[in-house]
Amino acid sequence: MVCKAPGKICNAQTIVPCELRLRIAAVIRAAGQPRAAVPTCFCACTITTMAADSSPQRVVCLQPSATVILAAIGRLDRIVACTRYCADVCPEVRSNGRAIIADSWTAQSQQIIAAQPDLVIAAVPYQEKAVVEILKAGIRFLGLAPRTLADIYTDIATIAGVMGASESGRAVIAQMQREIDAVRTQVREHQTRGKTRPRVFCEEWGKPLIASQRWVAELVEAAGGEFLGDPGLQRSPESVLADDPDIVIASWCGAGDRVPLEKIVRDRGWEQMRAVKAGDVYCVRDELLNTPAPTLLLGLRALAAAIHPDSFPQPDGLRCIANVHDQIHSSQPG
């Protein structure tokens, strides 16, 4: 089959065979997403005909979000190899002799090809050389680069369409939208009329200090907060202090729930920040906010509990700094 849209790349930078576009488009439109979200073909992709009943049977996942999505649509059994980060968010993949390989950024084509996949799913940033070798070997490659919740819905629809699970993909998207709307409604019901939204600074990395992604900003808004700054951009500790947020959320990529809250407050000179004085400095477990997949619903609940602790119970994966001034000052010499 010949690609009818050469040279075009979809919003999520997804490489996908043309004949799947109608299947994916149906899922996206049913989820209420705009037509612009429908993937188009990238001319570097080798496109082959895929019958409706011959979806990929051997999938290599280089990104945790793809693993979570495959689990959500009932296709976890198709994974033959994945990364240790995939196993962290979805421990079931450690069973059945699945190979644990390098992630997107450190991907090694030899490891991937040795798993004999018929589909490789990765997300930016990924090794271009590895992608070239994968395509040369005639293996389908799906590259994702979501920025917003709409992009994430598109990725779910894309993966579900490729895997022949469009109905399941539609259900997963609808469930995410319902739960986000439910939290938004609960926030409105409990928010005092005329009261301003708490100002929230979220970071995904500490050195350099980088603000969380746009989908996190959307979740902060749904949870009743105001996201401070520009998503995904580097900040200085001084500029964040000048913004004087009401709440600080640290969710560092790859750090799990081990962000040293007391240390970053001390090292950055944030002792006089409004959030620190109030004790509203939190760590949210990495995969709950940094994995663009249905796991974000758990991250949303954690954000809601941090922003409105009287209205939402504290869930697993949320840790609050405690007795911050005593701990900071007791750690200082003299």
Asked if residue 65 lies in contact with residue 291, where contact means CB atoms within 8 angstroms, the answer is yes
Query: Do 122 and 232 belong together in one domain?
Result: no
> Could you count the other beta carbons within 10 Å of the beta carbon of residue 82?
28
In a domain, 243, yes or no: yes
Question: Do strands 210-211 and 199-205 pair parallel, antiparallel, or not at all (unpaired)?
Answer: antiparallel
Q: Are residues 157 and 212 in the same domain?
A: no
Domain boundary among 133, 155, 171: 171
User: 165 and 23 in one domain?
Assistant: yes
- Same domain membership, residue 155 and residue 29: yes
Q: Is residue 115 part of a domain?
A: yes
**CATH number assigned to the domain comprising residue 307:** 3.40.50.1980
Cα 331 from Cα 334, distance rounded (Å): 9
Share of the chain above pLDDT 90, in %: 66
> If you average pLDDT over residues 318-334, what whole number do you get?
65
**Based on the domain organization, do 34 and 144 belong to the same domain?**
yes
Alpha-carbon dihedral sign for residues 101, 102, 103, 109: negative
Cβ(141)–Cβ(130) below 8 Å: no
Whether residue 202 is found in the same domain as residue 167: no
Mean of all residue pLDDT scores within the chain: 84
Contact 12, 144 (CB under 8 A): yes
Does 304 have pLDDT greater than 60? yes
Q: Which residue has the higher pLDDT, 231 or 191?
A: 231
* CA gap 180, 285 in Å, rounded: 19
Closest CA relative to residue 292, chosen from 180, 215, 225, 205: 215
- pLDDT at position 330 is 53
Q: What is the pLDDT of residue 9?
A: 32
Residue 291 predicted with pLDDT over 90: yes
Give which of 90, 93, 139, 91 is closest to 112, Cα–Cα: 139
- Residues 211-234: b if buried by 16+ CB within 10 A, e if exposed: bbbbbbbbbbbbbbbbbbbebeee
The answer for residues whose C-beta is within 8 angstroms of residue 99's C-beta and 6 or more apart is 80, 81, 82, 111, 114, 115
Share of the chain above pLDDT 70, in %: 80
Give a yes or no: residue 7 inside a domain.
no
Residues 152 and 276 in one domain: no
Residue 192 lies in a domain: no
Query: Domain range for residue 80?
Result: 18-171
pLDDT band at residue 324 under the 50/70/90 scheme: low
**In the prediction, which pLDDT does 196 show?**
87
Judge whether 183 lies within some domain.
no
The confidence score (pLDDT) of residue 327 equals 53
- pLDDT reading at 43 higher than 50: no
pLDDT of residue 288 exceeding 60, the answer is yes
Number of folded domains that form the chain: 2
Q: Say whether both 28 and 155 belong to one domain.
A: yes
Reduce the secondary structure of 57-77 to three states and give it as a string. CCEEECCHHHHHHHHHCCCHH
Q: How far apart are CA 78 and CA 178, in angstroms?
A: 28
Kindly report, residue by residue over 10-34, the tens digit of the pLDDT.
Answer: 333 344 444 445 454 554 555 555 5
For residue 176, pLDDT over 90 is answered with yes
pLDDT average, residue stretch 145-173: 97
